[in-house]
Amino acid sequence: MNNYPLISVIIPCYNAERSLEKCLTSVIQQSYNNLEIILIDDGSTDNTSKIYEDFQRRDDRIKIFRQENSGVSKTRNEGLKVATGEYICFVDSDDWVEPDYCSELYQLLIEQNADISIIEASYEDENGNVVFDKPTSEEKVLDGKRALSLLLEDNVIQSHPWGKLYKASFFNNVRFPENLKCFEDYSTLFKVFDKAEKVVKCNDKLYHYIQLDDSLSHSLSPETAYYFYLAIMDVYKFWQSKTHLKNNGKVIKDFIRKLLMVLKRILRSTTEREMRTEKEEIRQSFKSLLVYPARDIGIEFYLHVRLYYYYPNLYTRLISK
């Protein structure tokens, strides 16, 4: 496969000594071997460096870059900055991939002359037990607008960067937001998908996503909930600018569901004086949701939005019970 185009596989890592060996083993054993394996160490303080340095001695496709601890957004952005491949692929250091992960993504892309290809993942705990069955669809080839709509619905196509192969040019002028410590992928992928004319997907589970109990995105503290709010609003503003997508009722209902989830987590986990600025920011953003009638978003969402916007103190007392 040396005559095949170069794929840049970007692997951000931070204190990944428990999982990195399995991750890197799965990547270097890919049946598609024309890879540029870019590992960005985000200031690890454990034995992570010993593991990747050993792998690099055995495989010169591995390129190591180090930075002070700055978060996953800056880590991925550094990977994009140094990538030289025609295509971009992501793997997280907690996870591992099947031997045909890259080759299947590439074949899907080429056979359909698509811009982005997608495979499915097996969602597992650290012991390999399946913890979640993600909904799938029999749709295989999607035009760009349909794929973007499914991404915004955040169900059949989700906003994680892994499990996908992209034309590298699609990341021109697109970077992960470095002000967010988590949910940075949610507020980024729609910008990439917006450039695609054709997207192809299959339901083969070639990526093993390991859900860790202590990960930022799974322990929704008030702070991480606020980061999720910022990401949601980024996507919401983008959706409002897309006339051809605005009639998708599923999307606005999903936005409101997530905003209410974030709001409840913050209100239930803070005192009246804590995060006052953030709570008021969220309340003010609800003003734009008042235009949606109950028939479009459901009576429950309709009432929750109005109650918090007009009577925030009452809403706080009611949902805290």
Whether the CB-CB separation of 246 and 282 falls below 8 Å is answered with no
Q: What is the largest CA-CA distance in the chain?
A: 65
Same domain, 155 and 231: no
CATH number of the structural domain spanning residue 122? 3.90.550.10
Q: Which of 194, 214, 234 is the last residue of a domain?
A: 214
Q: Which of 176, 191, 214 is the last residue of a domain?
A: 214
Same domain, 188 and 47: yes
Q: Is residue 2 a part of any domain in this protein?
A: no
Residues with Cβ within 8 Å of 262's Cβ and at least 6 positions away in sequence, in order, are 225, 226, 228, 229, 232, 282
Same domain, 16 and 141: yes
pLDDT tens digits, the chain, 321 residues: what are they?
568 999 999 999 999 999 999 999 999 999 999 999 999 999 999 999 999 999 999 999 999 999 999 999 999 999 999 999 999 999 999 999 999 999 999 999 999 999 999 999 999 998 889 998 887 888 899 999 999 999 998 889 999 999 999 999 999 999 999 988 888 889 899 999 999 999 999 999 999 999 876 554 456 799 999 999 999 999 999 888 886 666 667 889 999 999 999 999 999 999 999 999 999 999 999 999 999 999 999 999 999 999 999 999 999 999 986
313: helix, coil or strand?
Answer: helix
Same domain, 108 and 192: yes
Same domain, 233 and 207: no
d(CA 282, CA 298): 20
Same domain, 231 and 209: no
Same domain, 193 and 228: no
Number of domains in the chain: 2
Supply the range of the domain harboring residue 305.
220-319
d(CA 46, CA 53): 13
Q: Which of 192, 214, 236 is the last residue of a domain?
A: 214
